[in-house]
Structure 1
């Protein structure tokens, strides 16, 4: 599988919560970290998703928000503690590599945000990803 998305996180489906139209699929990606994706029930059926299946969370790097402090009272379903392993500065945007367990998450944020929030290698930061921004692949 090849995609243009910077993040392809491999995991095991640990839970599927089915609603009227959509389902929340919980993907365990190791080290106690879970990613929640909201997809249509039709997609769950067409992909024949089941608990225990291997799947991939596909996330475009600009969909990953980064916070210095753990946010509270926020609607984002995925708040993941990570460690900054690399900062690539650009003219408009910068790229952060974020270690989470044995996998790496890439975030693309504005250069202004990097300067304002002083992101540095070794910092503990929080990756925030809306559940409906995550595409699942099998």
Structure 2
């Protein structure tokens, strides 16, 4: 599948919680971390999602927020993936930050240069990528 979304994380559906309109779909990644997505019930059905199904979570890099220290912080964002900064590419205003996840996957965030400086983001530094469940697009192989 080719998409413009920088973040394409594959895994297996580990749980589906049905709702009247929206369903909560949990996708387990290879490293044991999980992604939660909120989809319409119709989308879950049309994709054929069920526990054990292979699924792809798509998240635009601009939807990802980075944290350098999550101790003592509680967020409403359901998805929080821990990793290590692998690369920082600095532009005129924004930077692209690539986090390497424990299982070998990557997640990319686009953040301001000021945020990179303020958070001390540099290769080798631990960081957490956070994003809302409603920011996750789920795909399956046709």
TM over 0.5: yes
Find the counterpart in structure 2 of residue 122 from structure 1: 124
- Structure with more strand by fraction: 1
**Which residue of 122, 134, 137 corresponds with 1:135?**
137
Match of 1:106 in 2: 108
| CA deviation after TM superposition for structure 1 residue 73, in Å | 2.6
Distance 1:91 1:116 in 2: 16
Which runs of structure 2 are paired with 1:31-110 in the superposition (5 Å)? 31-70=31-70, 72-100=73-101, 101-110=103-112
Q: Which 4+ stretches in 1 moved above 6 angstroms? A: none
Aligned residues: 138
Structure 2 gaps of 5+ residues are none
Deviation string, structure 1 residues 48-101 (Cα, Å, up to 9, x no partner):
111111010001001110001116332110111111010111111100110112
Q: TM-score, length-normalised on structure 1?
A: 0.96
Deviation at 1:17, TM superposition (A): 0.6
Residue-by-residue CA offset, 1:17-59 (whole Å, 9 max, x unaligned): 1111111100011111111111111100111111111010001
The CA distance in 2 between the partners of 1:134 and 1:34, in whole Å, is: 12
Where structure 1 has 5 or more consecutive residues not aligned to the other structure, the ranges are none
Q: How large is the Cα RMSD of the aligned pairs?
A: 1.0
Name the SS of the counterpart of 1:45 in structure 2: helix
**CA displacement 1:86-135 (0-9 Å, x = unmatched):** 01111111001101122011111111111222211111111101000000
Q: Distance in 2 between matches of 1:94 and 1:4?
A: 18
**TM norm structure 2:** 0.94
How many Å separate the matches in 1 of 2:38 and 2:26? 9
Give the Cα–Cα distance (whole angstroms) in 2 for the partners of residues 115 and 90 of structure 1.
13
